Structure 1
Amino acid sequence: MSENFVDLGKVTAPSGVLVLGMAGWIDHWPELGRPLSVRAKEAAASGGGHLRDGWCEAVVVPAAADRPLPVRATTSPSPFDEEPTIATLEMGLGLPWPGNANRTAPVRLGDLPVDRCGMVIGDAVGLDTWTGDEGEAG
């Protein structure tokens, strides 16, 4: 089974916090207490992390706020129909490497379970206004 790299485009994070979240639950964060952006900013301040509350999950990281950030994925054939499926996402965060970092290997930021509704990548503050499947703001 071979992997292929695919450029998916670019995303911006004007708040300086980038979120990868489960699309089916991204608009439910306010119902659980503090908005996603508040939780994400706190996690990003300490280098990023995995957020989970009930069925809502997201991975958050600090990112450059002043430029588009490239997003690409590795794909591999689906075990069901051999069509390409996303195996991993790679993102340029636009931030300098720490002085002691191993720059030859990618940095794993986290993982999320597969959500039938898909995943969303975006700015933490922007995702606070995500519109759910029924068109209702969260």
Structure 2
Amino acid sequence: MPETFVDLGTVNVPSGVLVLGMAGWIDYWRELGQPLSERARTVASSGGGHLREWLCEAAAVPAAADRPLRVSASTSPSPFDEEPTIATLEISLGRKWPEAADRSVRIPLGDLPVDRCGMVIGDAAGLDADGVPWSGVAGILE
């Protein structure tokens, strides 16, 4: 099966900080110190990067706060059963590249392990909110 691209929809990021994180551990950030939104805002202010504490991991990047951001994925066959699995995520951050930037250079944010509970993509502040349904703030990738 060849690699294909799939449209996953859009995500809103009113805080201006987009997070990709492990769903199974998303609620533990506050128990380990600062809430996820504060940590993500700090990392995003320097261009984005990887967050890790204990078993909690996420990546955070600055993103446009004034429009929905398109999320798509490439799929490739699973080595176990050849069913399509998400290989890469592509998220339009709604930001312009600096004029002097080399657009061919990738910006590594870190490696995230695959969480059996899925992965979440959402607004950093929204992921901290108590009682907010996941469907209202993030997409869950399984």
> Does the aligned pair in 2 maintain the 1:72–1:89 contact within 8 Å?
yes
Q: Which residue of 2 aligns with 1:62?
A: 62
Runs (5+) with no aligned partner, structure 1: 132-138
> Does the aligned pair in 2 maintain the 1:11–1:68 contact within 8 Å?
yes
Q: Which residue of 2 aligns with 1:135?
A: none
Within 5 Å, give how 1:1-138 maps onto structure 2: 2-104=2-104, 107-129=107-129
SS of the residue corresponding to residue 127 of structure 1 reads helix
TM-score normalised by length of structure 1: 0.89
1: CA distance, partners of 2:62 / 2:108? 14
**Cα offsets for 1:15-36 (capped at 9, x unmatched):** 0000000000000000001100
SS of the residue corresponding to residue 24 of structure 1 reads helix
2: CA distance, partners of 1:15 / 1:64? 9
Percent same amino acid among aligned pairs?
Answer: 72
Give the alignment's Cα RMSD to 1 decimal. Answer: 1.7
SS of the residue corresponding to residue 82 of structure 1 reads coil
SS of the residue corresponding to residue 41 of structure 2 reads helix
2:94 counterpart letter in structure 1: G
How many aligned positions are there? 132
Alignment CA distance shift 1:89-1:44 (3 Å): same
Residue 106 of structure 1 deviates from its aligned partner by 5.4
> Does the aligned pair in 1 maintain the 2:49–2:108 contact within 8 Å?
no
2: CA distance, partners of 1:107 / 1:34? 26
1:109 counterpart letter in structure 2: L
Residue 103 of structure 1 deviates from its aligned partner by 2.8
